[in-house]
Amino acid sequence: MTYTQTPDRELLGNTLLSLHEAGYSYAELGKQYHRTADAVKGLVRTAKLKQPKEFNVGIMPTPLELAGDFIIVGDVHVPCTDWAFASLVGRVAEKTGIHRLIIAGDFFNFDMWSIYQHAVPPTTWREERNAARVLVGDWLETFSEIYTLQGNHDRRLQKWTAGEFDENDVWGLIATSQKLVHSNYGWCTVRSNGQPWRVTHPKNYGRNQLTVASDLAMKYQSNVITWHEHHSAHGWDTYGRFVTVNGGTLADANKFAYVSLDDNRMAAMMKSFVVLKNGTARVLGEYPFTDWSEWVN
């Protein structure tokens, strides 16, 4: 059973605490308020341990709770973006009439702040910043609302500055449009045509498509669209109750040293993004995954 402190009990506890601190014993207060001494002691203890405002550290902001239809992208990794494929995002927006965008983490690459040793010289922040401005500038011409989430690459600069540089500081170097809304969470919820969706850039990675998405769908009891793994896939969770989606990437695998320099057993990076409309998700990827004549003019 979860203990909940009602407003009346909280007020009584604060009153008893004040009287006890003024010199009244638990027994005296019990007689006055028709309670046992132990009951008074419990109320006083609860009031005493209630966290004062000045100790309310680490309070998290409210995650985004959105509704409606969206185009959703993630793992953009500017400036390692596949620019030709990324240009399709705006074209699909015009075709579908969906002018709300979610950037589901790892918009930035932030190689300059990576904790990993570099095998080749990293892209400078100046190059990354300029590339980001080009892409966001294009999307701001098309979209009336753009919501951003945090991915593991986006958090590199946050961690390097010990949290002093937050998502608004980072994005403020790229664009200051009122169309942009930033969240420090790696996930948000979207209700589209009554259907619950969780859009997320989780910490976990699975080599096999949809495995992480299936676990998250069962944990949060929601349809799930995930990024981070660079998979493109669409299916059901393990028990066939929730729709699971891997959203892919807008990046060019050939621009990543860790992908192209050495052979590895990791899954290939797959370019795609997602259209969430009328409660259903469509993953749009490279041909023949998607027939683009249906989506662009």
DSSP, residue by residue, 72-125: EE----BTSB-HHHHHHHHHHHHHHT--EEEEES--B--GGG-SSPPSSPPPPH
In the predicted model, is pLDDT for residue 281 greater than 80?
A: yes
User: Nearest 5°: CA angle at 120, between 160 and 229?
Assistant: 65
**For residue 112, what pLDDT is reported?**
85
Q: What does DSSP say about strands 272-277 and 70-73: parallel, antiparallel, or unpaired?
A: antiparallel
Please tell me the distance from the alpha carbon of residue 282 to that of residue 95, in angstroms, as a whole number: 14
- Which residue, 146, 53, 52, 133, is CA-closest to 98? 146
Please tell me the distance from the alpha carbon of residue 78 to that of residue 258, in angstroms, as a whole number: 16
**For residue 56, what pLDDT is reported?**
61
Cis bond before residue 122 (omega within 30° of 0): no
Question: What average pLDDT score do residues 164-191 get?
Answer: 94
pLDDT in tens, 219-239: 999 999 999 999 999 999 999
Question: What average pLDDT score do residues 245-250 get?
Answer: 98
Percentage above 90 pLDDT, the chain: 74
In the predicted model, is pLDDT for residue 81 greater than 60?
A: yes
Tokens of 97: 């009439």
**For residue 2, what pLDDT is reported?**
47
**For residue 5, what pLDDT is reported?**
57
Quick one: pLDDT band at residue 1, thresholds 50, 70, 90? very low
Please tell me the distance from the alpha carbon of residue 77 to that of residue 256, in angstroms, as a whole number: 10
Alpha carbon 5 to chain centroid, angstroms: 31
Find the distance separating the first CA and the last CA of the chain, reported in whole Å: 58
In the predicted model, is pLDDT for residue 70 greater than 70?
A: yes
In the predicted model, is pLDDT for residue 59 greater than 90?
A: no
**Range of lowest pLDDT (123-132, 187-196, 269-278):** 123-132
In the predicted model, is pLDDT for residue 138 greater than 80?
A: yes
In the predicted model, is pLDDT for residue 51 greater than 60?
A: no
**For residue 187, what pLDDT is reported?**
98
In terms of average pLDDT, the best of 5-14, 101-110, 157-166 is 101-110
Question: What average pLDDT score do residues 252-269 get?
Answer: 84
Q: Output the average pLDDT for the chain.
A: 92
For the whole model, what pTM was predicted? 0.82
User: Other C-beta atoms within 10 Å of 212: how many?
Assistant: 23
